[in-house]
């Protein structure tokens, strides 16, 4: 198994091509709980969080995962997967052990605010310990992480959690754990992102993931930065970055098919910058989210997007094939593999490019961008054959993707 680095990102969708160049299901994200000790302002699953829940047997889900022949990555999310030790021992650890036995790379999405022993327990089975970090002070942490609560905890409580998050991050990094921290470019982080990046470097974080704010769930009404401001923030981060830290731009809102020279200049700068990458959005391309609690199969764990099936009633791969066949006919179902681009994230495209049909755009060879996994000699988007396959149209209504699925009921 190759070591994770800017040269090798196992969650990159273009690595999951078959011999015909077709993208295939190779990644699963499992929602193991709806409970969480925080209520973050930007949480894209906030309305799905719960206080009490049943603890399902994971055996049936493991049998469904057995049916995915080319599984290479598995992620665990919530809620907060480290919410209690029973959850870790009964669900998280068995899932991680299963994945490692299959030779998969693993990731867990956690807030690292519980006792460090919980994280040390799972660390031997985790390739990426993924956290969110959008703060510079305990006051920032309190404002952002308790925004969804009617009654805010005392300032000392927030400060203690913030200090534990930082202490746990540092300890895990010292133990050799690959800690990856995600920050959102938003009005909250505008003008502060480079300082956040530098702080993460001090804590030993190996990778800094940078994403837009997703306008979903708790974050549905939050203001977004315009593209001009977003571009400026990205450039400022590149200017002030610590070269020891890998920067990964995810669900990037700028594409090589853009006719704006500023977008092309930014992409060209990223292409020249050592240790900086842009990841194609894996959701719906190579990855689905499955919910252990209700059986739902989702394109993403964002609560705004409904299920496309239920793994209790059908194989996960069947839902993926149906989704893939329909996705191609949406305005987001584009790809320009000659520059290594598989098109936009749905939520980001709806927010920044309303009404734009990306299938009618094509990245020129001279765009200044050639992704690390660009494919030579593969057809591009529009009316040509797609690496996503063929099938029946999906429908866009009220900004949401609606899939008519026989598995729903």
* All domains of the chain in start order, with CATH: 13-402 (3.20.20.70)
What tens-digit pLDDT sequence spans the chain (409 residues)? 678 999 999 999 999 876 657 889 999 999 999 888 887 776 755 455 566 778 899 999 999 999 999 999 999 998 899 999 999 999 999 999 999 999 999 999 999 999 999 999 999 999 999 999 999 999 999 888 887 677 777 889 999 999 999 999 999 999 999 999 999 998 889 999 999 999 999 999 999 999 998 765 555 567 789 999 999 999 999 999 999 999 999 999 999 999 999 999 999 999 999 999 999 999 999 999 999 999 999 998 665 678 999 999 999 999 999 999 888 888 999 989 889 999 998 888 988 999 999 999 999 976 666 666 665 544 444 333 334 443 333 332 333 333 333 222 2
Residues in the chain: 409
- Rounded CA-CA distance 222/207 in Å is 26
- Rounded CA-CA distance 375/378 in Å is 6
Q: Give the pair of three-digit tokens for residue 105.
A: 């790379």
Neighbour count for residue 226 (Cβ, 10 Å): 10
Q: Give the pair of three-digit tokens for residue 28.
A: 């699963």
DSSP 16-58: GB-TTS-B---EEEEE--S--S---TT-TTGGG--S------S
- Rounded CA-CA distance 324/304 in Å is 19
- Rounded CA-CA distance 173/9 in Å is 19
């Amino acid at each position: 198994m190759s070591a994770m680095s800017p040269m090798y990102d196992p969650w990159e969708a273009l690595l999951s091509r078959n011999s015909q160049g077709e993208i295939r299901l190779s990644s699963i994200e499992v929602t193991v709980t709806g409970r969480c000790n925080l209520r973050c302002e930007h949480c894209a699953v906030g309305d799905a969080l719960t206080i009490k829940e049943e603890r399902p047997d994971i055996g049936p889900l493991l049998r469904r995962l057995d049916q995915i022949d080319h599984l290479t990555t598995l992620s665990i999310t919530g809620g907060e997967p480290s919410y209690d030790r029973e959850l870790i021992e009964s669900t998280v650890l068995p899932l991680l052990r299963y994945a490692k036995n299959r030779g998969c790379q693993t990731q867990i999405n956690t807030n690292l605010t519980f006792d460090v022993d919980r994280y040390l327990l799972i660390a031997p089975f985790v390739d990426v310990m993924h956290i969110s970090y959008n703060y510079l002070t305990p006051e920032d942490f309190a404002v952002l992480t308790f925004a969804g609560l009617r009654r805010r905890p005392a300032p000392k409580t927030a400060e203690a959690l913030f200090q534990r998050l930082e202490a746990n991050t540092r300890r895990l990094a010292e133990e050799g754990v690959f800690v990856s921290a995600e920050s959102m470019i938003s009005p909250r982080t505008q003008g502060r992102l480079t300082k956040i990046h530098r702080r993460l470097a001090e804590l030993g974080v190996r990778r800094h993931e940078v994403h837009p704010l997703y306008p979903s769930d708790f974050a549905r009404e939050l203001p977004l930065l315009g593209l001009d401001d977003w571009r400026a923030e990205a450039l400022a981060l590149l200017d002030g970055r610590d070269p020891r830290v890998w920067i990964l731009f995810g669900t990037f809102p700028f594409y090589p098919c853009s006719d704006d020279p500023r977008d092309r200049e930014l992409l060209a700068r990223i292409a020249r910058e050592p240790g900086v990458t842009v990841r194609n959005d894996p959701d719906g391309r190579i990855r689905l989210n499955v919910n252990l609690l209700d059986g739902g199969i989702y394109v993403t764990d964002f609560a705004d997007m409904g299920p496309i099936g239920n793994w209790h009633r059908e194989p996960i791969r069947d839902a993926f094939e149906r989704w893939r066949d329909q996705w191609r006919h949406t305005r987001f179902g584009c790809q320009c593999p000659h520059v290594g681009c598989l098109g936009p994230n749905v939520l980001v495209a709806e927010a920044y490019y309303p009404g734009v049909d990306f299938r009618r755009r094509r990245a020129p060879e001279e765009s200044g961008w050639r992704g690390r996994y660009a494919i030579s000699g593969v057809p591009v988007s529009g009316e040509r054959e797609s690496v996503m396959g063929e099938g029946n149209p999906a429908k866009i209504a009220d900004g949401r993707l609606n899939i008519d699925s026989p598995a729903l009921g």
